[in-house]
Chains A and B, each alone.
Chain A
Amino acid sequence: AQKVTQAQTEISVVEKEDVTLDCVYETRDTTYYLFWYKQPPSGELVFLIRRNSFDEQNEISGRYSWNFQKSTSSFNFTITASQVVDSAVYFCALSESGGGADGLTFGKGTHLIIQP
Chain B
Amino acid sequence: DTGVSQDPRHKITKRGQNVTFRCDPISEHNRLYWYRQTLGQGPEFLTYFQNEAQLEKSRLLSDRFSAERPKGSFSTLEIQRTEQGDSAMYLCASSLTGPRNAGDTQYFGPGTRLTVL
A97-B102, A109-B41 given; 17 more Cβ-contact pairs under 8 Å: A32-B103, A33-B103, A44-B111, A47-B106, A50-B103, A97-B100, A97-B103, A102-B48, A102-B95, A102-B102, A103-B33, A103-B48, A104-B33, A104-B45, A106-B43, A106-B44, A109-B42
Among A50, A102, A104, A107, find the residue whose CB has the most chain B CB atoms closer than 10 A.
A102
CB of A95 within 8 Å of the partner chain = yes
In the assembled complex, A105 has its CB within 8 A of some CB on chain B:
yes
Interface size class of A (residues with CB under 8 A): 20 to 34
Chain B residues with CB under 8 Å of A43's CB are 89, 110-111, 113
User: What is the size, in residues, of chain B's interface with A at 8 Å between Cβ atoms?
Assistant: 32
Is B111 a contact partner of A108 (Cβ separation < 8 A)?
Answer: no
Interfacial chain B residues near A47, Cβ < 8 Å: 105-108
Q: Which residues of B approach A to under 8 Å, CB–CB?
A: 31, 33, 35, 40-46, 48, 50, 55-56, 58, 89, 91, 93, 95, 100-111, 113
Which of A46, A52, A103, A108 lies in contact with B41, CB distance below 8 A? A108
Q: Flag whether A85 is at the interface (Cβ < 8 A).
A: no
A107 to B50, CA, bound (A): 25
User: How many Å from the CB of B58 to the closest CB on chain A?
Assistant: 7
Closest 10 CB pairs of A and B: A103-B45, A106-B42, A33-B103, A45-B108, A97-B102, A44-B110, A50-B105, A106-B43, A95-B103, A91-B42
